[in-house]
Structure 1
Amino acid sequence: MTPAAPGFPYDRLRRRPDVEAPNLFAADAADRLLAEIAGDAVLQPGLVVIGDAYGALTLAAAARGARDIRVHQDALTGERALDANAAELGLVGAFEHRPLDEALVRGARTVLLRLPRSLDALAEIATLIAEHARADVVVHAGGMLKHMTTAMNGVLGEVFGSVEASLARQKARVLTAREPHPAAATVLDRWPERSRDAETGLWVCAHGAAFAGTSIDIGTRFLLGVLDQAVPDARAAIDLGCGTGVIASALAASRPGVQVIATDQSAAAVASAAATATANGVSERVTVVRDDGLSSQPDASAELVVLNPPFHIGGAVHTGIAHRLFADAGRVLVPGGELWTVWNSHLGYRAALERAVGPTRQIARNSKFTVTASRKPV
């Protein structure tokens, strides 16, 4: 087997503008194994890379000589990290960012895929490839063993005639899928999915990679129970890290005078939130934006920000993203505006919220979650 990108400097890759820390890395053994198994196939026309966290797959292929690489990354920070790493390594122009749609995979011969955690996300990607890539497409799908399950083989097996697993190496493995079945993929193509939540009466729409799918996660549901108390006269609100857009649609549906911005860095979340707003008849008052936090929003522009922050970065428990989002909210709130946050009580975010925004009071608490309101000083 031909070594992949001999001497490729994986250790020079960085995660910026995503959170950087000693236990967080821009490349791992799965990236290396995928590149090795794909070998010279990356040099053929029609290379597609999906789920490349910070550019390791794309740039290793580019360093071998691959060009016109079509790349889809769900996270906006991943796109920006890839661009920055490409500039650092002199590989700008070898790839193009694409949305997850038919054009991404049309005519693809080789697909390098970092396996997503969600089986629904994998199913959405697999059906897209099977429907629109070449009949001789080869999909190399890799991940770290701790995040892989045999169910992933089954998902690929629904739309590919052949699925083979590599030997494990450095706790990583690659599944190689061939012989796509376009007819089967057409039957299984169902995204975005849609479901009506009985408790709230809201329609929830979700693409495969959207957190919680068409259900409402328990933290968001707890926050929704007190949302009517959150700055009732607000006319400009933001659903920060909106996911499927449930909070944004709930605000717009219950407050005819409010304009809501729903923002998330995930392409799947943004597409889901837009579909959720349309399904609930509030799309005229919900603007959905793909953004790294609130980087595109001006200072002192919102009276209310609502947030259910993540506390994982990939597979690692890390609160760095939450602290960045608190700071963003503090900047974007008008004086006297409030950040309403639901968080796992054991994380003890209150001191951080007071530093980033202002005086913080507890609104509600149960056995797992706390809802607080942080007021920006006038």
Structure 2
Amino acid sequence: MNRLTTLWGEFGLTRFPEHPRETLRAWDSADEYLLRHLAGTEGPQAEPDTAPDRGPDTAPDLSGAVVVVGDRWGALTTALAARRRGSATTGPLVQITDSYLTQQATLANLRRDGAEPDEVRLLSARDTPPERIDVLLIRVPRSLAQLEDQLHRLAPAVHQDTVVVGTGRVTEIHTSTLKLFDQILGPTTTSLAVRKARLIHTSPSPGRVRAPSPWPHSYALPDGLGTVSGRTVVNHAGIFCAERLDVGTRFLLHHLPRREGAEHVVDLGCGNGVVGTAMALANPEARVTFIDESFSAVASAEATFRKNVDADTEAAFVLGDVLSDIPAESVDLVLNNPPFHTHQSTTDATAWRMFSGSRAALRPGGELWVIGNRHLGYHTKLKRLFGNCEVVTSDPKFVILRAVKN
């Protein structure tokens, strides 16, 4: 566990799921920069070539309705809860995230700091935002589309006096990022870079005319993809390759296993659900479970499934940490395209948990099919876990692997 030191106290923070050998912190310099600014210990000095409006010169009032969007592991929310604790407040503290893991990390970090259950209201990216926001704090997401959707959803609650501050690493804040803040909320400037992080300051213009949000976005799949050829895929903002089918999934769809009978199939890390939907169409007797830690991904998978499969076809849509909610030895087939990064950090920790969770959930004789970039070396991990691993097929970039639980 690492400790974050702020003007409001010191906090022991972890990611979720907590691992005793975890070396990655639950915050970074962008979070620290924003917290220093909110405490009034670091000014919002703007870049020389930006508009003259440099934002407030003093720490903002945090007693009103404060909304934190995109907090990675709950560091911002935990520190703000401590700041408001014991003081007079006129509005709630709300965290909005698209990540189940973020919510769980936030809950754990708040409990560790002694927070009461009602101190923070936790909302997902698919929930309706609060009707009024006095302070809006945004951790810039990796996905520009996700930021666009978030700003459109939050804009009606922002008023003329709302303090809007964003934060992110220098590599995360681009001209297109600032343009979205400007177009949807109001005139926007940036701070100088400090420890490779910047702040974004926006002066709200509540009366401006905004184009409607383009999300969710749908597109038709190309021909040659078996049961899903020409089918429509639904994507909420932030889903991987939300505007087109990615080449890895396309490759997997060409080589899906042919199964029959009333099997339990899991689309693990389901994204928009196209893989699980393809399996359901190919084998109507199968029971498919779609699992992801993204609220938007699970919503996209359900929308894709319902749009393409008979109304009476049953399926489960699970928001959670890999297969932790699936009973042991209850699954016949797991299909998985694991991520190899978490936010800006490259790591195989998520893939390893997906593989080990799959082994626990599979029945004897059950199979895990994995697609990944050839250079990631997933076959080594699968052999260590399952005692076997074979290459189903490959091309110059991707490989599909099959491991069987003995």
| TM-score normalised by length of structure 2 | 0.86
Q: Is the 8 A contact 1:157 1:163 kept in 2?
A: yes
Identify the residue that residue 264 of structure 2 maps to in structure 1.
236
Q: Distance in 1 between matches of 2:77 and 2:271?
A: 27
Q: 1:137 to 1:88 in 2, by over 3 A?
A: same
The residue number in structure 2 matching 1:8 is 9
Q: Distance in 2 between matches of 1:201 and 1:254?
A: 15
Note if 1:104 corresponds to 2:123: no
**Equivalent pair of 2:260/2:285 in contact (CA under 8 Å):** no
Quick check: which has more Rg, 1 or 2?
2
SS of the equivalent of 1:117 reads: coil
Counterpart residue number, 1:314 = 343
Say if 2:8 and 2:79, in contact at 8 Å, map to a contact too.
Answer: no
CA distance in 2: counterparts of 1:5 and 1:225, whole angstroms = 52
| Bigger mean CA deviation after superposition, 159-168 or 331-340 | 159-168
Which aligned pairs between 1:200-279 and structure 2 lie closer than 5 A?
A: 200-227=229-256, 229-233=257-261, 235-279=263-307
The answer as to whether partners of 2:274 and 2:301 remain within 8 angstroms in 1 is yes
Q: Indicate how the Cα distance of structure 1 residues 363 and 347 shifts in structure 2: closer, same or farther if over 3 A, else same.
A: same
Counterpart AA for 2:180? V
Q: How many residues align?
A: 371
Which residue identity does 2:238 align to in structure 1? A
Letter in 1 for 2:329: A
CA distance in 2, matches of 1:303, 1:353: 17
Give, in angstroms, the shift of residue 92 of structure 1. Answer: 3.2
Deviation at 1:232, TM superposition (A): 4.0
Within 5 Å, give how 1:329-368 maps onto structure 2: 329-368=358-397
Query: Which shifted more, 356-365 or 122-131?
Result: 356-365
Q: Which residue of 2 aligns with 1:145?
A: 170
Residue 63 of structure 2 corresponds to residue 44 of structure 1: yes
Residue of structure 1 in register with 2:79 after alignment: 60
Displacement after TM superposition at 1:206 (Å): 1.3
Return the TM-score normalized by structure 1. Answer: 0.92
TM superposition shift of 1:131: 2.5
Structure 1's unaligned 5+ residue stretches are none
- Asked whether the 8 Å contact 1:231–1:303 carries over to 2, the reply is no
Structure that is richer in helix per residue: 1
Aligned-partner residue type, residue 13 of structure 1: L
Give the SS at the match of 1:81.
helix
RMSD after superposition:
2.1
Distance across 1 between alignment mates of 2:361 and 2:18: 20
Once residues 204 and 69 of structure 2 are traced to their aligned partners in structure 1, the CA distance between those partners, rounded to angstroms, is 19
Distance change in 2, residues 1:22/1:83 (3 Å): closer
Aligned-residue offset at 1:161: 2.3
Range 193-202 or range 167-176, more displaced = 193-202
In the other structure, the counterpart of 1:198 is: 222
Q: Which runs of 5+ in 2 are unaligned?
A: 40-58, 224-228
What is the Cα deviation at residue 30 of structure 1?
Answer: 0.7
